[in-house]
A and B are shown apart, each in its own frame.
Chain A
Amino acid sequence: MTDKIRVATASLCGCFGCHMSLLDIDERIIDLVQLVEFDRSPINDIKKVGDCDIGIIEGGVANAENVEVLLEFRKHCKVLVALGACAINGGIPAMRNSFELRECLEEAYIDGIGVANPQIPNDVEIPLLLNKVHPIHEVVKVDHFLPGCPPSGDTIWTFLTELIEGKPISFPYEQIHYD
């Protein structure tokens, strides 16, 4: 068991679509678990990342907790992978970068349609938002990028099998899209 490749995954400021796409490898996941063991991941609900061979990050960096998780992943993972549009360029959440953070909060919690008891949430349990949403390569060194919104199950499968087998990473044309 111990010689299995350890893989951790996390969703930062994403929609979990990339994780859904990982599950879209369907029955190939049975082949995958012969080769890998999952460390921290939403799939198994382990909360803390240990030393891993591969760390896969979905989502961009939008709040203080995202920064913390990302730094932990970089510290513990030999190879760090940016999975999907948000991790690579901020994606849809980064469209808030066209506005001031205050404007976004006011639109959602003060001026929004149907808002009752308008107030900007300010609980210590809620991670503080960053002024802008950032791609993860602006915070840590990233070893591989898998574009797509989300990358397809086939793209993820191609990547993981090539990486695990130590082959050069390359994709068929249809497997790389930015959307």
Chain B
Amino acid sequence: MNEVKTFRLDGVDIEFSEGDTIMDAALRAGAYIPHLCHNPEFTPHGSCRVCIVEVNGGQVSACTQPAAAGLEVDNASDAIVEERRNLLQMLFVEGNHMCPGCEKSGACQLQAVAYYTGMLSPHYTHFFPQRSVDASHPDTAIDFNRCILCELCVRASRDVDHKNVFSLRGRGIDTQLTINSPSGKLGDSTFAATDKAAHVCPVGAILPKHRGYEQPIGNRLYDRQPISVVGDVAAYEPGNKGDGHD
């Protein structure tokens, strides 16, 4: 007899299969654990730490922690939500996230997760780093001001497109996204707008050209309902499950 294995997430039993992470099982059960660098199509990364949960008294990232029978997982305690909010505030002040001037605003996962955690201010001192915009590619623009180093484009370009267009360079606070081309410009790389890497950015760092502000305010992905209901923005990219939303 094949016994169903479960763990408890905020007091609710969640079924899981062998090899599942806490995140895999939660997503399948429709339970929302906030996340940015995780996309179920790619190998978990565990780097943004937004999906931290408390498991048996310790903190782990839900996207990398294997599910195990009988775990008590706390995803919604005041302490966890506070810590997530702090992480998000640090992401906001490390980059230049000027939402009113960003095409992705309203369908941005960083914003949506911040709304979900009740972030009303960045709290910390802004870095205002000097970063560039790369508009050299005919179909896609890159605004490094908004990159949160989730490496989803790195993973997509390497694992799906087999092009290795993106990688990270530098260490710690100096880490930056870099483009694999002779000039370092996207226009000189093998990148194409049809690449998977063009459709995984959770923020407004990699943006398609020629279709800015298509959705009026009030109609955008996260305008009326929270990300816990709507889901990840990447799922609404062409060819994915939510394609065709209005």
| Contact, CB under 8 Å: A178 / B123 | no
> B120: which of A92, A94, A145, A173 is its contact (CB, 8 Å)?
A145
User: Within the assembled complex, what's the spacing in Å between the Cα atoms of A72 and B92?
Assistant: 29
Query: Is B128 at the interface (CB under 8 A from chain A)?
Result: yes
| Contact, CB under 8 Å: A92 / B123 | no
A133–chain B nearest beta-carbon distance, Å: 8
Which residue on A lies nearest to B128, using beta carbons?
A97
Q: A88-100 toward B: CB 8 Å interface, digit per residue (1/0)? A: 1111101101100
Residues of chain A within 8 A of B96, CB atoms compared = 94-95, 97-98
Q: A78-93 toward B: CB 8 Å interface, digit per residue (1/0)? A: 0000100100111110
A-B contact sample (14 more), CB < 8 A, given A95-B96, A142-B121: A89-B92, A91-B98, A91-B100, A94-B96, A98-B128, A98-B130, A135-B122, A135-B126, A137-B121, A138-B126, A147-B120, A173-B115, A178-B111, A179-B106
Which residue on B lies nearest to A146, using beta carbons?
B120
Q: B87-98 toward A: CB 8 Å interface, digit per residue (1/0)? A: 000001000111
User: Within the assembled complex, what's the spacing in Å between the Cα atoms of A134 and B124?
Assistant: 12
Which residue on B lies nearest to A87, using beta carbons?
B121
A84–chain B nearest beta-carbon distance, Å: 9
Known contacts A147-B120, A173-B226: A178-B99 contact under CB 8 Å:
yes
User: Within the assembled complex, what's the spacing in Å between the Cα atoms of A147 and B123?
Assistant: 12
A-contacting residues, B102-142, CB 8 Å: 102, 105-106, 111, 114-115, 120-123, 125-126, 128, 130-131
A-B contact pairs, 29 of them (CB 8 A): A85-B99, A85-B100, A88-B120, A89-B92, A89-B126, A90-B128, A91-B98, A91-B100, A92-B98, A92-B101, A94-B96, A94-B128, A95-B96, A95-B101, A98-B128, A134-B126, A137-B123, A138-B125, A145-B120, A145-B121, A146-B120, A149-B100, A173-B115, A174-B224, A177-B115, A178-B99, A178-B114, A179-B100, A179-B217
User: How many positions in chain B have a CB within 8 Å of any CB in the partner chain?
Assistant: 28
B-contacting residues, A135-160, CB 8 Å: 135, 137-138, 142, 144-147, 149
Residues of chain B within 8 A of A132, CB atoms compared = 128
Which residue on B lies nearest to A176, using beta carbons?
B115
A-contacting residues, B167-212, CB 8 Å: none
Which of B99, B111, B226 counts the most chain A CB atoms within 10 A?
Answer: B99
B197–chain A nearest beta-carbon distance, Å: 25
B164–chain A nearest beta-carbon distance, Å: 29
User: Within the assembled complex, what's the spacing in Å between the Cα atoms of A142 and B124?
Assistant: 12
| Contact, CB under 8 Å: B126 / A174 | no
